[in-house]
Structure 1
């Protein structure tokens, strides 16, 4: 029997509102700003995301054999090329999308967190 269920994945960042808006555009939903450095993503399908202010935030490095990426999000899409254009227009950056034969590509969100677009 499980001890707990996954409630929310919380990402540290320098600007929770800006990062919340990015993910609201990517995943749907709307942001809920508590005004105290915490923003939740409401009404988006899947596991809830939230964003909190982290003074001195240093983004993860990917790929870096001597540093940890800490985590990454896998986001399922139906059209990799179309999704790539959209996330780049929203402020994502390419980390590894060179191999077009793969069913996934790696990006960083505007705060530097890695995420993958994965074809379903």
Structure 2
């Protein structure tokens, strides 16, 4: 029997407010800093996200044969090409989007965390 529920997914990063602004532009919501080094993304649909300051943050490697990507976020979109243009304009980088016929493409957010844009 479960005894806990997921409260939030927190991403380590060098600048919590900047990364919260990136995700606010992608999935909606408003960054809210309730205490130093921690920013919540409030008022969006879906799983709660937060961003924690980590001055020594080292982005995961994707793909990695000698390490781990740690985790990634899957974001559902209606128009893959339009969503790709928007995330790139916001500072994302392409990790794996060469196969335009599959239902997902992989990017890194400005702090280096991998995420996928997935077709509905």
How far, CA to CA, are the matches of 1:80 and 1:94 in structure 2? 13
The CA deviation string for residues 45-76 of structure 1, in whole angstroms up to 9 with x for no partner, is 10100000012110000011101100000000
In structure 1, the residue matched to 2:4 is 4
1:114 aligns with 2:118: no
| SS in structure 2 of the partner of residue 51 of structure 1 | strand
Q: CA deviation at 1:9?
A: 0.1
Q: CA deviation at 1:3?
A: 1.7
Which runs of no fewer than 5 residues in structure 1 stay unpaired? none
In structure 1, the residue matched to 2:40 is 40
C-alpha root-mean-square deviation of aligned residues, in Å? 0.7
How far, CA to CA, are the matches of 1:19 and 1:52 in structure 2? 10
TM-score by length of 2: 0.98
In structure 1, the residue matched to 2:71 is 71
How far, CA to CA, are the matches of 1:70 and 1:39 in structure 2? 21
Would the alpha carbon gap of residues 111 and 79 (structure 1) be closer, same or farther in structure 2, given more than 3 Å must change?
Answer: same
* Segment drifting more, 89-98 vs 33-42: 33-42
| SS in structure 1 of the partner of residue 102 of structure 2 | coil
Which consecutive segments of 4 or more residues in structure 1 shift more than 2 A? none
1:13 aligns with 2:8: no
The number of equivalent residue pairs is 120
1:51 aligns with 2:51: yes
In structure 2, the residue matched to 1:87 is 87
| SS in structure 2 of the partner of residue 34 of structure 1 | strand
TM-score by length of 1: 0.98
